[in-house]
């Protein structure tokens, strides 16, 4: 494990439950990811994940998008918190806001997202429902670098799960979520260790 001074500092942006956030915090605490948490930010004041982060001793902040408007002002406020906590990497973990080029540009290549489908299939909301209704036999999750297009940037890692005949949105979502909690820390570990380089859209792991 590198010295704290050389480990990147990771902010996690949430809007709700925060189970991926908890998986990332656990992985950093247990040194499976060579990084330290900087801050957890929620745009929703009563997001359950905030209490889990606080219980884990991680600084938290709320930047309420209904109070800080317009969109650009909200994003600037989020960026002020990121900077105040000396953030190097930003992980979106169920953050239900579309980022603007402002933040994406400031942290180019250092904003990660997890999506509950095998991109480029089923981008956007309710991906598990869309996969089920389409009738695919395999779905999964994707960790990717965020660019200006929603659920579009270069793919770091993917994990597949079967879609079973008797699946409901709930059972499929639970099967995917179990993989999300493994995949996201693995992807963050690669980025934090500086092992990820880009060749066009292709992510190379060195
Ligand atoms: C996850 O399914 C994630 O893939 C999607 O939003 C959900 C967030 O769940 N982006 P949680 O808040 O991490 O529990």
Of all protein residues, the one whose alpha carbon is nearest to atom 14 of ligand 1 is 19
The mean pLDDT value for 16-25 works out to: 98
- Report pLDDT for 112: 98
Asked if pLDDT for residue 59 goes beyond 80, the answer is: yes
Q: Per-residue pLDDT averaged across 32-52, rounded?
A: 98
Answer yes or no: are the C-beta atoms of 149 and 123 closer than 8 Å: no
Q: Tell me the CA–centroid distance for residue 5 and ligand 1, in Å.
A: 30
pLDDT at residue 90 in the model: 98
pLDDT tens, residue by residue, 168-185: 999 999 999 999 999 999
Distance CA 94, CA 50 (A): 13
Strand bridging mode 202-205 / 196-199: antiparallel
Q: Is 88:9 a contact under the CB 8 Å cutoff?
A: yes
Q: Residue 71 in contact with residue 43, Cβ under 8 Å?
A: no
Supply the pLDDT for residue 170: 98
Taking the centre of ligand 1 as the mean of its atom positions, its distance from the CA of residue 15, in whole angstroms, is 9
Cβ of 129 below 6 Å from ligand 1: no
pLDDT band at residue 3 using 50, 70 and 90 as cut-offs: confident
Assess whether the C-beta atom of 93 lies below 6 angstroms from ligand 1. yes
pLDDT above 90: residue 39: yes
> Looking at residues 59-83, what average pLDDT do you find?
96
Higher model confidence: residue 11 or residue 3? 11
Helix (H, G, I), strand (E, B) or coil at 166: coil
Higher per-residue pLDDT: 6 or 168: 168
Confidence of residue 5 (pLDDT cuts 50, 70, 90): confident
Strands 111-115 and 138-145: antiparallel
C-alpha distances out from residue 143 to 55, 73, 152, Å:
26, 27, 10
- Residues 101-125: what's their mean pLDDT? 97
Average pLDDT over residues 94-113: 96
Q: 110, 197, 182: which is closest to 140 by C-alpha?
A: 182
What is the average pLDDT across 1-12? 88
Looking at the annotation, which residues are catalytic?
115
Calculate what percentage of the chain has a pLDDT beyond 90: 97
- The CA R_g of the chain, rounded to the nearest whole Å, is 16
Tokens in use for 27? 């992985």
| pLDDT band at 4; cut points 50, 70, 90 | confident
Residue 122 has pLDDT above 90, yes or no: yes
Ligand 1 geometric centre to CA of 66 (Å) = 21
State the pLDDT at residue 6: 86
Q: Is 175 in the pocket of ligand 1 (CB under 6 A)?
A: no
Res. 23 pLDDT band, cuts 50 70 90:
very high
């Amino acid at each position: 494990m590198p010295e704290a001074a050389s480990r990147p500092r990771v902010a996690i942006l949430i809007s709700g439950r925060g189970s991926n956030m908890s998986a990332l915090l656990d992985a950093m605490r247990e040194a499976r990811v060579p990084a330290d948490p900087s801050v957890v930010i929620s745009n929703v004041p009563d997001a359950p994940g905030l209490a889990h982060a606080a219980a884990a001793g991680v600084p938290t902040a709320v930047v309420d998008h209904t109070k800080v408007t317009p969109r650009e002002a909200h994003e600037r406020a989020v960026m002020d918190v990121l900077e105040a906590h000396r953030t190097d990497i930003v992980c979106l973990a169920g953050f239900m806001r579309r980022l603007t080029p402002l933040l994406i540009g400031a942290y180019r290549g250092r904003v990660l997202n997890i999506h509950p489908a095998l991109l480029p299939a089923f981008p956007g909301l309710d991906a598990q429902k869309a996969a089920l209704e389409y009738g695919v036999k395999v779905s999964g999750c994707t960790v990717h670098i965020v660019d200006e297009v929603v659920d579009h940037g270069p793919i770091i890692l993917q994990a597949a799960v079967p879609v079973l005949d008797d699946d409901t949105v709930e059972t499929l979502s639970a099967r995917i979520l179990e993989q999300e909690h493994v995949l996201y820390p693995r992807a963050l570990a690669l980025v934090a260790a500086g092992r990820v380089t880009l060749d066009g859209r292709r992510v190379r792991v060195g």
